Structure 1
Amino acid sequence: MPHTYQPRISASTLNDPLRAVEFMNGDAASISRNAGISPQDLEGNIGLKKFVDFCEHASDQLNLPDFGWRVGSVFNLQNLGTLGECIMQAPTLGAALALFRNAFSMVQSDSELRLTVEGDKARLTYRILDTSIWPRQQDAELTLSVFHGLIRSATGPDWRPDLLSLEHESSALHSHSAVGPRCPVQYGAPSNTLVFSSGLLDLPLAASENPAFKVASQSIVRIARQGEREAPVAARVRRELMMRIGRESIEQTVIAAALGMSRRTLRRRLEDEGQKFSRLLAGCRMEIAKRLLLVPGMQIHDVSERLGYSEVSAFERAFRQQLGTTPSQFRKQNSA
């Protein structure tokens, strides 16, 4: 991230993880210290890495590999402040998830939340865009568990997703685990995803229609978008690149348009921050490459393709120019 900018999350999201640790007789104070969280951090926003680290340390100290999913299953949406309160007033599941997606940055920055519908399947996808925040297994499972619980509030307790996909390589969650989604689970995926029937999006959530929901949700989304625009331009470019690499166009004009700027204005704004688009793009690609090269079984040509290179040789050349070593050498030097 440029300068001193750091991804952040609302401190109130720690309320339920802290309560869970205390309920299970864990040492919340020592876990907080290990995660770099001070009492002063519990007001306003905290670093996203601190939240993620807290969940990882809690899982380790409690010897509870499904800590994140357990906490997410009892997560109180009121921890999300105005956004959470509005989500609970949504008329349908689809409206609730759409608001979650559109205003997620209000409570957690530098993260991707997508809701896509293809035919009779809906996919709810989540991931942190900063690859340096790792491991992040408990955060991923906590977040998907929150969405899982929201869907169940519309469908009833017997509902199961069609599929759960996770970024990490292993988990206590599987189709036969007592705690979890009780559905097929895939590991080593590009993102963390719940797959379910798109017909569920039309299910009612609130007991009665709230005429104020539409106006309130629009206001919340405007506030979230304004917050996104207040970040340094380099950070905003980086977010777009990390979401798009390997999926969508990463051409500078396209990124500029996504940020509401012309290509020329974007170049000037980046220069004001001492940055260049080409440097940011190269940096994002290498961050993703370093993470993928450590995934067991991931072939170099697969990494190259996911990063959007037309030829493996172009990827290998760029990797060596940026890091002074080849992808194969990097993998050998950094594999456990």
Structure 2
Amino acid sequence: MLEGGEARPHAPPKVLASAANGVIELIQRKGGCAEAIFASASIRMSDVGCPTNELNLHQYCTLFEQAARQTGNDNFGLEFGAQFQPKELGPLGYAAISSPTLGAALRNVEAYFPAHQGQSTFSFIPEGDIVWLSYQITDPRIADRRQDAELSLGMFCNIFRQALGKNWAPLEVRFEHSKPDGASDHSRYFNAPVQFGRRTNAFAFRRDVLGSKMPEPDPYLFAIIEALLRSRRDFAGDPQDIVSILRNQVKMHLGERTPSMTDISVILGMSSATLQRQLKEIGVTYNDILRSAREELALHYMKNSDMPLTDVALNLGYSELSAFSRAFRNWTGMSPHRFRRIGAFSK
């Protein structure tokens, strides 16, 4: 399977300082000493003054873990994310709120997330009329990241609330970390059921909200912001970012029909010739990405033993179960029936 966002040991991942906007004030409101907390994370307080400054992602996560410990507020990240407004996220946030629809906002966040934060995934997994927004830091060196996960999902939820109103709530929220003390606060903040110890950090929403209008679309502002984000993403220079973005868009649009390269290029706002040239430069074909997206989604769907195999096949864009079965055997070396029977997905 193609993989995007592989960790590069010689290049520690960065995050824009805009992601820490307001943290000093929250530390002070919670009775903490901002100077001591920043020092323990090896970050200068002045570093968060400019939203386009880059922070070491490991140190950024440490900052919020230390803030939780030293303020005695175990849900520090949760509270920080709940009050964090999209525009405070800097260029990425403005790209979202200046988009015409919620769906466009999320596509823009996905496309330019590598410009905001490195060695992390921001992706979507569709399940019929439901879509999961998934977020995870992929750098294995960053082990303590609970506070980051909770604040990040809170930030992303507030993009939805920008379009759908402050009372909008996800259908369900999941976190990769273990259930903490005071977990009832999580359900209250998200106004949704919350599960812990899952494979990634994610929340579910209904697909039909993607067409909702953003309240303040601004094509001119978006054009300015997009130029900055594109240059930062290109400077990051990871050719696999385009692979991850394309794979996620293919997953979002698989269903009764299989999206073509032209379909995906239109969604991303580029010509199919440009997209084909970029793929050629990194030695990947559109069919490689389509196959990878189908395999990834198939393994996800197969975990649901109540989902009929015919439905799995249709959700992957196959018109017949036999075509899906042949593809699945090529991926795993066994039929879908045997794979599910022996519980291979749990191994």
Paired residues of 2:21 and 2:89 also in contact (CA < 8 A): no
Quickly say closer, same or farther: Cα 1:136–1:26, change in 2 above 3 A.
Answer: same
Q: Name the counterpart of 2:178.
A: 169
Separation of aligned partners in 1, 2:231 and 2:33: 36
Q: Which runs of 5+ in 2 are unaligned?
A: 1-6, 252-277, 285-330, 334-347
Question: What are the within-5 Å matches in structure 2 for residues 320-331 of structure 1?
Answer: none
Q: CA deviation at 1:223?
A: 2.2
1:280-317 Cα shifts (integer Å, max 9, x gaps): xxxxxxxxxxxxxxxxxxxxxxxxxxxx998xxxxxxx
Q: Name the counterpart of 1:202.
A: 211
Question: Could you tell me which of 265, 282, 298 is aligned with 1:261?
Answer: 282
Paired residues of 2:95 and 2:222 also in contact (CA < 8 A): no
1:15 partnered with 2:21 = yes
Paired residues of 1:115 and 1:122 also in contact (CA < 8 A): yes
Q: Which runs of 5+ in 1 are unaligned?
A: 248-256, 264-307, 311-336
Question: What are the within-5 Å matches in structure 2 for residues 49-68 of structure 1?
Answer: 49-68=58-77
Separation of aligned partners in 2, 1:175 and 1:59: 17
1:90 partnered with 2:99 = yes
Q: Name the counterpart of 1:292.
A: none
Quickly say closer, same or farther: Cα 1:167–1:15, change in 2 above 3 A.
Answer: same
Paired residues of 2:95 and 2:226 also in contact (CA < 8 A): no
Question: Could you tell me which of 190, 196, 199 is aligned with 2:199?
Answer: 190
Q: CA deviation at 1:194?
A: 0.9
Q: Name the counterpart of 2:131.
A: 122
Separation of aligned partners in 2, 1:24 and 1:212: 39
> What TM-score, normalized to structure 2?
0.62
* Secondary structure in 1 matching 2:143: coil
Aligned partner letter, 1:80: L
Paired residues of 1:166 and 1:187 also in contact (CA < 8 A): yes
Separation of aligned partners in 2, 1:98 and 1:183: 24
1:219 partnered with 2:219 = no
Separation of aligned partners in 2, 1:116 and 1:224: 26
Quickly say closer, same or farther: Cα 1:81–1:214, change in 2 above 3 A.
Answer: closer
1:88-127 Cα shifts (integer Å, max 9, x gaps): 2122111111111111111211110013433211211100
Q: Name the counterpart of 2:79.
A: 70
1:25 partnered with 2:24 = no
Question: What are the within-5 Å matches in structure 2 for residues 225-244 of structure 1?
Answer: 225-229=233-237
Aligned partner letter, 1:190: R
1:142-195 Cα shifts (integer Å, max 9, x gaps): 000011122122222332211111110113575675742122222122210010
Aligned partner letter, 1:147: F
1:211-262 Cα shifts (integer Å, max 9, x gaps): 4366456535532430331x6x8xx69x97xx99xx9xxxxxxxxx969423
Aligned partner letter, 2:191: R
Aligned partner letter, 2:203: L
Question: Could you tell me which of 135, 145, 148 is aligned with 1:136?
Answer: 145
Q: CA deviation at 1:65?
A: 1.8
Q: Name the counterpart of 2:116.
A: 107
Quickly say closer, same or farther: Cα 1:172–1:11, change in 2 above 3 A.
Answer: same
1:2-42 Cα shifts (integer Å, max 9, x gaps): 56410111123222222210122211111111111134644
1:6 partnered with 2:12 = yes
Paired residues of 1:104 and 1:224 also in contact (CA < 8 A): no
Aligned partner letter, 1:128: I
Separation of aligned partners in 2, 1:89 and 1:112: 22
Separation of aligned partners in 2, 1:147 and 1:129: 18
> What TM-score, normalized to structure 1?
0.64
Quickly say closer, same or farther: Cα 1:8–1:155, change in 2 above 3 A.
Answer: same
Q: CA deviation at 1:86?
A: 2.6
Quickly say closer, same or farther: Cα 1:53–1:177, change in 2 above 3 A.
Answer: closer
Quickly say closer, same or farther: Cα 1:138–1:262, change in 2 above 3 A.
Answer: same
Q: Name the counterpart of 2:320.
A: none
RMSD: 3.2
* Secondary structure in 2 matching 1:26: coil
Deviates more, 1:117-126 or 1:52-61: 117-126
